[in-house]
Amino acid sequence: MFRNPWQRHKDLISIHDLTAEEVEALFQLAENVKARPDRYRSALAGKTLAMIFEKASTRTRVSFEVGMYQLGGLATFLSSRDIQIGRGETIHDTAKVLSRYVDGIMARTFAHETVTELARHATVPVINGLTDLLHPCQALTDYFTVREKFGNTKGLTLAYVGDGNNMCHSLMFGGPKVGMHVRVATPRDYRPKAEIVELAKKDAAAAGTTIEIFDRPEEAVAGAHVVYTDVWASMGQEAEAEKRKRDFAGFQVTPELMALADRKAIFMHCLPCHRGEEVHEAVADGPWSVIFDEAENRLHVQKAILLLLLNR
């Protein structure tokens, strides 16, 4: 059906592992899948995907499940309560057993090491559906959406405002791959991990782009083409929610903040969003917002990922 440019990859764990050419090939395939879904209806006929969920999900579960169905395959949902990994079976054994049954594994977990260990022991492709460290499928979708909205990504600037979390990490890894500058504004105690920043800056230097860290949202957003935020308290951090609200005071994306961005700037959020916390409702539902186009594109980009990893 198509030449597979991802032959050197068994898994998708981090955008850092991909080249700029591989990301562009993914985007071209996702564009084709979105424009002509009928051409790919049976591309994964007879293929199966095991989906391991330690964390609840709307977009990840539905997009992967629907995506496999639309490609002619089958997705099986497995919560930690449904499989023996939740009762003490080792990740090694789970990976070995699932590899005998399915053609791929998607995992959405807390610890990043869970996904990396699954990949180490599985003999089928493993896709990182989210960990506390990284969220590659979402960030790839985000940059695909930017490409769709602007026609190109080269030379554009994305400003991320909020918690230096898994979303922030993957956006920093993705920027250099698509030729974009990334600015990050967080409170000092919520900086992205230093080792991620270092790796992303090395990638950026090689790509001719930049990664910058700021204390004030206004500095990051000034002239930016994309303004991005995420919830202040992610899953597993609910006990910190009230403290985080205090600590992130001044980091809400408001119409006033958006006015500092480029006049054609768009607003993005990986969802779910908490209107009135990290983003003002006038922004989330306003003319800048592309959050629902972004959410829809999870389906198309992940179908392309599934085709590249499972159609071999």
Active site residue 269: no
DSSP string over 275-289: BTTTB-HHHHTSTTB
Distance of alpha carbon 152 from alpha carbon 166, whole angstroms: 25
Question: Whole-prediction pTM value?
Answer: 0.96
Give the active site residue among 11, 132, 203, 230. 230
What's the pLDDT at 7? 87
Rg (CA), the chain: 19
Active site residue 270: yes
Query: Is 135 annotated in some ligand binding site?
Result: yes
The encoded tokens of residue 152 equal 């190109």
Q: Answer whether 11-134+298-310 and 138-294 agree in fold.
A: yes
216 assigned binding-site residue: no
Q: What's the pLDDT score for residue 235?
A: 67
Q: Is 59 annotated as a binding residue?
A: yes
CATH of 11-134+298-310, one of 1.10.1130.10, 2.40.30.10, 3.40.50.1370, 3.40.50.1860: 3.40.50.1370
The pair of three-digit structure tokens given for residue 131, joined into one six-digit string: 């960990």
- Residue 106: CA atoms inside 13 Å, Cβ hemisphere, count? 29
Architecture of domain 138-294: 3-Layer(aba) Sandwich (3.40)
3-state SS, one letter per residue, for 253-278: ECHHHHCCCCCCCEEEECCCCCECCC
The one-letter amino acid at 18 = L
Is 125 annotated in a binding site? The answer is: no
Query: What is the distance of C-alpha 18 from the center of its chain?
Result: 14
Please identify which of the residues 16, 112, 135, 269 carries the catalytic annotation. 135
Q: How far is the C-alpha of 71 from the C-alpha of 131, rounded, in Å?
A: 26
- Burial zone of 190 (CB within 10 Å; 0-12 exposed, 13-18 middle, 19+ buried): middle
298 is known as an active-site residue: yes
Give the Cα separation of 89 and 77 in Å (integer).
18
Closest to 145 (Cα-Cα) out of 174, 115, 110, 188? 174
User: Of 147, 181, 183, 298, which is the active-site residue?
Assistant: 298
**Residue 22 contacts residue 29 (beta carbons within 8 Å):** no
Whether the bond between 272 and the residue before it is cis, its omega within 30 degrees of 0, is yes
Identify the DSSP state of 80.
T
Per-residue pLDDT of the chain (312 residues; tens, 9 = 90+): 567 889 889 999 999 999 999 999 999 999 999 999 999 999 999 999 999 999 989 999 999 999 999 999 999 999 988 887 766 789 999 999 999 999 999 999 999 999 999 999 999 999 999 999 999 999 999 999 999 999 999 999 999 999 999 999 999 999 999 999 999 999 999 999 999 999 999 999 999 999 999 999 999 999 999 999 999 987 667 778 889 999 999 999 999 999 999 999 999 999 999 999 999 999 999 999 999 999 999 999 999 999 999 998
Residue ranges covered by each domain of the chain: 11-134+298-310, 138-294
Neighbour-count burial of 247, counting CB atoms closer than 10 A to its CB (0-12 exposed, 13-18 middle, 19+ buried): middle
Q: Is 215 a catalytic residue?
A: no
Q: By the 8 A CB rule, do 62 and 295 touch? A: no
Is 136 labelled a binding residue?
yes
Helix (H) / strand (E) containing 177 = helix 166-178
Active site residue 138: yes
How much is the pLDDT for 228?
Answer: 99
Q: Which is the catalytic residue, given 270, 273, 280, 302? A: 270
For position 86, what pLDDT does the model report?
63
Residue 230 in marked binding region: yes
Q: Is 60 known to sit in a ligand binding site?
A: yes
| Antiparallel, parallel or unpaired: β 104-108 and 48-53 | parallel
CB atoms within 10 A of CB 303: 25
Residue 235 among known ligand-binding residues: yes
Residue 191 identity: R
How confident is the model over 138-194, as pLDDT tens digits? 999 999 999 999 999 999 999 999 999 999 999 999 999 999 999 999 999 999 999
Q: Is 70 a catalytic residue?
A: no
Is residue 270 within 8 Å of residue 135, measured between CB atoms?
A: yes
Question: Pick the catalytic residue: 138, 181, 225, 300?
Answer: 138
